[in-house]
Amino acid sequence: MFQQPPPSVEMGRQALRAGRYETARRAFEAAADRGEAAGFYEMGLLYWYGQGVVKSLEKAVALFTLAAERGDADAQHAVALALLPSDRPAAERWLVKASEAGHAPAMTRLAELFLERDRGAARALLARAAEAGYPPAMIAYGHSLAREPERDTDPAEGLAWLYAAVSVTGDADVERDARALAQVLHARAITEAQKRGRSLAKRLARPR
């Protein structure tokens, strides 16, 4: 007889999508028992949302922290968001770790925190996250390029990123912002922004 493989994190995720919470919990627990960071993170999500377990934010954060300490960028981001209201320095440290791993949501959130004290660093983070195809970063980066009172403000490039974001998300509010920005640009700049926006959207929509 062939031995069944141990339940994996991916098996747990499939069970979770199917609403089989108990099966998902067992798979995530098995992965956590093996010391897998993703197992701790997924268990944390179960407790965070109360899926198949009694909801407990305290347990969720403890599990996120175990995963974060093992290098899971999603968990580092989650711990940071949980800590932000009470311990901003610690939250920033976790966001930096996740950003160094290329986690686009963490880069975007860290940029928001940096905005008041280091706009250059904030914009650089948004640029990285936008280039990763993360829609909130694409929108924020477009607004930053278009509106911030800095020497390197580039409204046409900002408009291109907003056009790309609209193409990716269909967000009506972003489309309205793009139209408003286009009203203050010359026709040639708008045409170039449209072309650049289509190129960005096409490239960033490709599977990575």
181 and 194: one domain? yes
206 and 142: one domain? yes
Task: Give start and end residues of each alpha helix (H) in 37-87.
Answer: 37-49, 57-69, 73-83
Q: What is the mean pLDDT of the chain?
A: 93
4 and 47: one domain? yes
**Residue 123 maps to a domain:** no
97 and 62: one domain? no
Q: For the chain, what percent of residues have pLDDT higher than 70?
A: 95
Torsion angle of the four alpha carbons 13, 18, 24, 25, in this order, in degrees rounded to the nearest 10: 120
Ramachandran angles phi, psi of 106, nearest 5°: -65, -40
pLDDT at 4: 73
CB atoms near residue 40 (< 10 Å): 24
43 and 15: one domain? yes
How many CA atoms within 13 Å lie on the side-chain side of 98?
30
For helices 88-100 and 104-114, give the axis angle rounded to 10 degrees: 140
Flag whether pLDDT at 3 surpasses 70. Answer: no
Flag whether pLDDT at 150 surpasses 70. Answer: no
**Residue 110 maps to a domain:** yes
**Residue 124 maps to a domain:** no
Which pTM does this prediction carry? 0.89
Flag whether pLDDT at 208 surpasses 90. Answer: no
Residues 22-58 have pLDDT tens digits of 999 999 999 999 999 999 999 999 999 999 999 999 9
Residues 173-184 have pLDDT tens digits of 999 999 999 999
pLDDT band per the 50, 70, 90 thresholds, residue 146: confident
Flag whether pLDDT at 164 surpasses 90. Answer: yes
66 and 77: one domain? no
**Residue 143 maps to a domain:** yes
Instruction: Look up the domain containing 44 and give its range.
Output: 1-70
Q: How many domains does the chain have?
A: 3
31 and 61: one domain? yes
Contact 106, 99 (CB under 8 A): yes
Flag whether pLDDT at 205 surpasses 90. Answer: no
**Residue 65 maps to a domain:** yes
